[in-house]
A and B are shown apart, each in its own frame.
Chain A
Amino acid sequence: EPEVTQTPSHQVTQMGQEVILRCVPISNHLYFYWYRQILGQKVEFLVSFYNNEISEKSEIFDDQFSVERPDGSNFTLKIRSTKLEDSAMYFCASSEGQENTEAFFGQGTRLTVV
C-alpha cells in the first residue's frame, strides 16, 4: 500500500541551526501539507502546497519556514534558524485532491532543539 515517507524519524539540532525535514508524498497525489504537533498538544496546520507553490499557510509559518519540491518526488520543510519552541513532531501529508478523500500522513519527524 502506498505511503507517505518522512526522513529522518528523529532529529536533534542546536538552537540557531538550520534543519531540513524531508518527505516523499504518495506518487499520484497533488496536494502536500506540513503539520506540527508540540508534545501533548493538538496537531496544527503549517502550510499546504499545490502546483509548485504555497496555497495556504498558517500564522505559525513565518519567515523562518520555507517549503520546496526540489524534484518530482521530494517535499521539504526548512526551518532556517531553529528555536527551542520549534521542538515538535512534524507531519507531512498528501492528498489526491479528489472529492471525499482523506489526507495520508507520514510517520512524522520528531525534532528536538537543544
Chain B
Amino acid sequence: AQKITQTQPGMFVQEKEAVTLDCTYDTSDPSYGLFWYKQPSSGEMIFLIYQGSYDQQNATEGRYSLNFQKARKSANLVISASQLGDSAMYFCAMREGAGSWGKLQFGAGTQVVVTP
C-alpha cells in the first residue's frame, strides 16, 4: 500500500497566486513526521517545511504553510504568492516513528509550473 499519495501529477499556477498541493498519508504509528521537499530542474532536493504528528499548530515557513488535518491524514502544502522560481517538482514525504533518524518515504510528486 502506498504510504504517501500525491494525486496531482502536475499543476499550472499564475504568478502571485496561491497554490495548494495535496498529500495524504497512511500510517498506524502515532508518532511520525511529514515533510515537503522541492526539486528544481537542476535536480537537488530542497527541504521546505516539516510537521510533526503531535504538533498542535500548522507549520509555516515564509511563503510555505502546511495544512495538517490529522483525522483525514492529509498534509497539504500551500505556497502563497507564487513566483516563477517556484516552478519545480514538489515531494511530500513521511518519516514514521518517534525518532528522527528513520527513512523518508516519498510520494510520486507534483510538478508545478508557474506562469507569468
Which residues of chain A have a CB within 8 Å of any CB of chain B?
30-31, 33, 35, 41-45, 48, 50, 55-56, 58, 89, 91, 93, 95-108, 110
Nearest Cβ distance between residue A1 and chain B, in whole angstroms? 12
Contacting pair B45 A43 (CB below 8 A): yes
Nearest Cβ distance between residue B75 and chain A, in whole angstroms? 14
Complex interface: chain B residues within 8 A of A98 (CB): 100
Q: Give the segment of B19-27, B76-84, B104-112 that binds chain A.
A: B104-112
Nearest Cβ distance between residue A26 and chain B, in whole angstroms? 12
Complex interface: chain B residues within 8 A of A103 (CB): 47, 104
Given A89-B43, A100-B52, A104-B47, A45-B99 contact (CB < 8 Å): no
Complex formed: what's the CA distance from A100 to B33 in Å?
Answer: 8
Task: Provide a sorted-by-A list of 29 A–B residue pairs whose CB atoms are within 8 angstroms.
Answer: A30-B101, A35-B104, A41-B108, A42-B91, A42-B108, A43-B91, A43-B106, A45-B103, A45-B105, A48-B101, A48-B102, A50-B101, A56-B103, A93-B45, A95-B100, A97-B101, A99-B100, A100-B52, A102-B35, A102-B47, A102-B50, A103-B47, A103-B104, A105-B37, A105-B46, A106-B44, A107-B43, A107-B44, A108-B45
Contacting pair B47 A110 (CB below 8 A): no
Complex formed: what's the CA distance from A41 to B52 in Å?
Answer: 26
7 shortest interchain CB distances as A-B pairs: A105-B45, A45-B103, A31-B101, A43-B106, A107-B44, A102-B47, A42-B108
- The total of interchain contacts (Cβ-Cβ below 8 angstroms) comes to 65
Nearest Cβ distance between residue B90 and chain A, in whole angstroms? 12
Which residues of chain B have a CB within 8 Å of any CB of chain A?
33, 35, 37, 42-47, 50, 52, 91, 93, 99-109
Complex interface: chain A residues within 8 A of B46 (CB): 105
Contacting pair A110 B107 (CB below 8 A): no
Complex interface: chain B residues within 8 A of A56 (CB): 102-103
Contacting pair B50 A108 (CB below 8 A): no
